[in-house]
Amino acid sequence: MNRTSEIKRKTAETDIFLRLDLDGTGIADIDTGVGFLDHMLTLFARHGNFDLTVRCDGDVRVDYHHSVEDIGICLGKAFTGALGDKAGIKRYGDIILPMDEALILCAVDISGRGHLACDLDIRAKKIGDFDTELIEEFFLGLVRNFGVTLHIRKLAGRNSHHIAEGAFKAFARAISEAVSGDPRNAGRVPSTKGVL
């Protein structure tokens, strides 16, 4: 099965192309116009073993909000497209991931219901020129368009960069587990409802 998806999204604020291969090797080709997000998406691809291409021409002269949110939207749509009917996947994934002094809990359920519980408590308002509140906006855009329940929480940590990086790595590892195949459930949707 070819578990890939391409998304093109053009608005008055952003023009985005995104390609996702769930069964890749972690190759990232990212150019969003937002340096910190490029870094986060590159490590997301590597730690999830996803091949990910992202191009974004956004109104970064205003700020990074539209680009970050819209890329989250596109990544959520790409996961939905690549998974199809979700038959044969594990559905759930979780991890407690250390990043130096930071410790991040992440748990996902590909439930068909978009919900985000995000408690990262990042002290700094900015990492470089990146507004740290945009991390939650990215994940909100993603969960709403993927229909995934995502809990992501800082258990420990002081350094803002470590907390943010830990969050993206933890999400990569947890979602990679959730989309992976479950041989005991081959061909079946992992729900008593029969659909997700």
Q: What is the CATH number of the domain that holds 40?
A: 3.30.230.40
Is 162 within the bounds of a domain? yes
Spell out the per-residue pLDDT of the chain, length 196, in tens.
799 999 999 999 999 999 999 999 999 999 999 999 999 999 999 999 999 999 999 999 999 999 999 999 999 999 999 999 999 999 999 999 999 999 999 999 999 999 999 999 999 999 999 999 999 999 999 999 999 999 999 999 999 999 999 999 999 999 999 999 999 888 898 888 878 8
Phi, psi of 97 (to 5 degrees): -115, 125
CA distance 191 to 196: 7
Is 176 within the bounds of a domain? yes
- Single out the residue of 183, 187, 120, 111 nearest to residue 147, CA to CA: 111
Query: How many structural domains are present in the chain?
Result: 1
Domain span including residue 44: 4-185
Would you state the structure tokens that stand for residue 87, as one six-digit string?
């038959």
Is 192 within the bounds of a domain? no
Helix or strand (DSSP H, E) at 178: helix 160-179
Q: What is the pTM of this model?
A: 0.96
CA distances from residue 92 to 2, 148, 170 in whole angstroms, order as listed: 21, 10, 14
Considering all CA atoms of the chain, what is the largest pairwise distance in Å, rounded to the nearest integer? 51
Is 193 within the bounds of a domain? no
Would you state the structure tokens that stand for residue 174, as one six-digit string?
């947890």
Is 196 within the bounds of a domain? no
Is 56 within the bounds of a domain? yes
Is 160 within the bounds of a domain? yes
- Single out the residue of 37, 31, 51, 62 nearest to residue 137, CA to CA: 37
Is 81 within the bounds of a domain? yes
